Amino acid sequence: MKREATVKRKTGETDITVTLNIDGTGRYHIDTPVGFFNHMLESFAKHGSYDIDLKAEGDIHVDQHHLVEDCGIVLGQAFDRVLGDKSGIRRAGFFIYPMDDALAIAAVDFGGRPYLQYEAPFTHQYCGEMEMGLFEDFFQALAVHAKANIVVRIPHGRSDHHKAEAAFKALARAVRSACEKDPRNLAAIPSTKGVI
């Protein structure tokens, strides 16, 4: 069965639609008004082998916060919807991603208890037109709405571009691993409680 979902969110601040297929090939069409954010979401799709169509508009004349956070909300809701009761998945995954001067560590547990551990010391406030501090808001929204424990840490790096991109690639691979079907337990809920 195809694990795919479409989520729409329209508020007074943003209008976002995402279609996510977690068993894809890394095909993406990302359309937000923030170029560097597009690049990060494209990297996430490609390195997780997810097919993602995401279109987002928002009140960026105020700032980018509503748009970036709400993209995390809808993407998190899409993951939650396609994973359903979590039966048959590995549930947890991690990845360490080197990118030139940068190193990023990511881990995820789709255990139903949202939490974000985030440590990303960026040098500059902006990369391109993207406000770098907003990545924490994106990952927080993703964690809450995917009902996942997410860890993103960047212990080393010179280039803010490389540090951010390594983080998105690491998380993509960690999430991919967690979403994979476990051939030994295809019908089982991955919890001693019997429910997530």
Q: Give the number of other Cβ atoms within 10 Å of residue 110's Cβ.
A: 24
| Dihedrals phi, psi of 85, to nearest 5 degrees | -85, 5
Q: What is the pTM of this model?
A: 0.97
Domain boundaries defined on the chain = 4-179
Q: Residue 128 pLDDT more than 90?
A: yes
Cα separation, 166 vs 158, in Å, equals 12
> Which of 44, 113, 35, 51 has the alpha carbon at shortest distance from 72?
44
To which residue do tokens 């994979």 refer? 180
Residue 139 C-beta-side C-alpha neighbours within 13 Å: 28
CATH topology of domain 4-179: Ribosomal Protein S5; domain 2 (3.30.230)
Q: What share of the chain is helix, strand, coil (3-state, %, to 5)?
A: 35, 30, 35
Q: What is the pLDDT of residues 159-185, one digit of tens each?
A: 999 999 999 999 999 999 999 999 999
Residues 81-87: what's their mean pLDDT? Answer: 97
Instruction: Decide if 129 contacts 34 (C-beta within 8 A).
Output: yes
